Structure 1
């Protein structure tokens, strides 16, 4: 009897332990539900967060995720090579992996560990548009430089010359706030050095783009076009000074003109489109949608370089796996239960930042997200104008960049992110001070805040 009683007591204790643990799990799950977190979203500041798959993938989906991840992270090599699954790099390229520009799937850095400009910073080229080039404009959205194309390649395979190297200098500009505070912003002076194929065309426009964070791409792709377009106000009918508009671009996937959603000027239509475009321009990899090597007619050695064994470097199946990987990763989002969020979002809305950096959307799958973007084009004024037209985006128009995910940058790279399209801003205050055009009044409202409120807003932005 004594042994039976002991066994019953043990079973009772075991049941209580299991019950308590179950309640804790249920409570935690409930908390996540309240916070809008779960299998897709996390507010955990972990440098590996954006590498993790969402929960609930089937075995088949997980295999596809891992396949896509491998083609995203494992280096590509020059052909011919025994590594036939990874040959085809170049002949002209900037990096040999996607992860080189997007460390841990985050935002790129301006400088590398040696203090040189990193591979995440890409020189872009184009000529002024004219009516003679309407067919090119319809599919490419811009006119390439006749010698160097649309993008400068910083590296090349054996026997082929790289195109040029980055050479940016900065001019300091003092900004004085109404309360007497003085800040210094950096104006970049774009240039190239060591041009290997002669000078640029006399009408070439040079600009630079830093690789954006890949945080939340899958959730952004699940926002309906209707929800994006309902925020359009091209002619500022509501007279609030904000006139966001959509970019419509050619998709090599569908062979149609579609809503542009990704890149700095919203010039790609889907994650597959963006991935194939970057693979071709950044690594010289061919796909069904970009089947030609990344060489201009004048670059003979590039055109004669050895080819990979297969006709396409990235097959449709592999490209689809890469897209699947980018869609099915965890997404960082700010914890709305903190004092930093509650104080910051009030000021954010008070001065009108949320007119372009829209806080919330609900995806077609019913997930509530806070990316802080409207995914539309806005005229940001002459200070940020880069002279480059892309499809309908003018020289001074930029897609509102999503703010979420920047809070992970320091965890990933050990330094604060360099902000704006070319990394000129060393912190959020500098980025705000560069805002002009439609955002001029919002910048002025920020500058007129009392200093304590400015600090709270900046702290909030660091946590987004």
Structure 2
């Protein structure tokens, strides 16, 4: 039992329900990574359904748990009260009624829907500076930021019957011309964000708004199996080697362990585990409470939201169901491209221009599996042009977790569209991503721009295959 708790980084007593631990003992007893076999976790099959498949060699009980998690991930939740008691509790304020609404086929979200409006995959997070009060400092300690007092932590574009939605996001772009040393020109898009139809009045004048795309769920279980020690080994907070890169870990409060833990997930690495990230997304995106987040996503001033009907259970998602959802995400198949001659040539250029200093190309999991997620899971200063004005725990306004690049080759298969990249989807292709890099990544960007056009094209093709 102690081994299982250690593997999951669980403090079951903090959940308050011993039945959760008992129900999952049999499922996790064999361990997610009991077999060190690359073929168990990866496939070279580049198709739209790959991220829906489980890893190989799940036994019957494990497969049942995978299917249970998938059902709560894909079948719509409904508002309470409802005869569908297993899935009631949606809202009162929410963005979507299923997880797959933001993560199509478990891939990266889309920026615009078929009508040309901003899609549900793009969420708006809100925060204000702390005023130094005990309330604000407690919020910073436990949440990493202080929510906006009227609208809360995230804008909800939908509400259940009788509860007005909060607002709608709108994105417009300004074209910015970029000239390469060899004379080539490209155009990148500078976003202008606004919120319209604000149904709850004015925002605090000091509000920071950050627009964020739903990331792919690709390989999250493998990332969770990387040891903290191996992640921290790549830190260079004071840039002792003078290479201009000073990655640091985000240390965050864990509602599971009630301690400060190393953050791995979200755009600023502000969540420590898949379970916690799942609970956070369920609460912010669908208005679902759990033992980890027991309050409704209504602020004190949202009277109709607070008075909306409640489900019969204390929490909308039981520990067993939340655990099943995390288990499903943790056991999804991952993609690995074939290492052809052109792939290896692109990788050499990737390393030549120092992209691999942050998007590291090899790391070993605790189970001994060598993986290439193309991330160090650390925070890096990306410059003022990518700043969102928002801090989360140890991540400052300019800092972002190195985005994993693996699995993005699946996106066009999944959605029929090229992926919109960076945290807010502003970049239409990988070259635009590179041209937005600043801060610690300025050297890599300049090195890329100075390459011969042929080598630039080889690098972009390499990135498109990941």
TM over 0.5: yes
What corresponds to 1:113 in structure 2? Answer: 114
What corresponds to 1:15 in structure 2? Answer: none
Report the TM-score when normalising by structure 2.
Answer: 0.91
SS at match of 2:385: coil
What corresponds to 1:66 in structure 2? Answer: 67
Number of residue equivalences? 428
What corresponds to 1:327 in structure 2? Answer: 330
What corresponds to 1:13 in structure 2? Answer: none
Distance 1:324 1:62 in 2: 10
What corresponds to 2:233 in structure 1? Answer: 230
SS at match of 2:425: coil
* Post-superposition offset of 1:37: 3.8
Q: Which moved more, 1:327-336 or 1:173-182?
A: 327-336
What corresponds to 1:104 in structure 2? Answer: 105
What corresponds to 1:281 in structure 2? Answer: 284
Distance 2:192 2:226 in 1: 37
What corresponds to 1:386 in structure 2? Answer: 388
* Post-superposition offset of 1:43: 1.7
Q: Is the 1:191–1:206 Cα contact (8 Å) retained in structure 2?
A: no
Matched, 1:141 2:154: no
What is the CA RMSD across the aligned residues, in angstroms?
0.8
* Post-superposition offset of 1:134: 1.8
What corresponds to 1:410 in structure 2? Answer: 412
Q: Is the 1:138–1:391 Cα contact (8 Å) retained in structure 2?
A: yes
Q: Which moved more, 1:305-314 or 1:421-430?
A: 305-314
Distance 2:337 2:154 in 1: 35
Q: Is the 2:420–2:429 Cα contact (8 Å) retained in structure 1?
A: yes
User: Following superposition of structure 1 onto structure 2, how do residues 11-410 of structure 1 map, counting pairs within 5 Å?
Assistant: 37-132=38-133, 133-336=136-339, 338-410=340-412
Distance 2:44 2:114 in 1: 28
SS at match of 2:176: strand
Q: Is the 2:263–2:272 Cα contact (8 Å) retained in structure 1?
A: yes
Report the TM-score when normalising by structure 1.
Answer: 0.91
Q: Is the 1:77–1:88 Cα contact (8 Å) retained in structure 2?
A: yes
Q: Deviations over 1:145-197 (max 9, x none)?
A: 00001100011101000000011211110000011111001111111000000
Distance 1:190 1:387 in 2: 13
Distance 1:84 1:350 in 2: 56
Distance 1:165 1:417 in 2: 22
What corresponds to 1:5 in structure 2? Answer: none
Instruction: Flag as ranges the 4+ runs of structure 1 deviating above 3 A.
Output: none
Q: Is the 1:333–1:371 Cα contact (8 Å) retained in structure 2?
A: no
SS at match of 2:190: strand
SS at match of 1:119: coil
* Post-superposition offset of 1:129: 3.3
What corresponds to 1:436 in structure 2? Answer: 438
Gaps of 5+ in 2: 1-36
SS at match of 1:85: helix
User: Following superposition of structure 1 onto structure 2, how do residues 447-462 of structure 1 map, counting pairs within 5 Å?
Assistant: 447-462=449-464
SS at match of 1:185: strand
* Post-superposition offset of 1:140: 1.0
Distance 1:333 1:370 in 2: 9
Distance 1:65 1:414 in 2: 27
Q: Which moved more, 1:132-141 or 1:240-249?
A: 132-141
SS at match of 1:307: coil
SS at match of 1:168: strand
* Post-superposition offset of 1:113: 1.5
SS at match of 2:188: strand
Distance 1:303 1:135 in 2: 22
* Post-superposition offset of 1:341: 1.2
Gaps of 5+ in 1: 1-35
* Post-superposition offset of 1:339: 2.1
* Post-superposition offset of 1:130: 4.3
Q: Is the 2:210–2:390 Cα contact (8 Å) retained in structure 1?
A: yes
Change (3 A) 1:118 1:131: same
- Greater gyration radius: 1
Q: Is the 2:38–2:369 Cα contact (8 Å) retained in structure 1?
A: no
What corresponds to 1:30 in structure 2? Answer: none
Distance 1:73 1:221 in 2: 22
Distance 1:72 1:340 in 2: 38
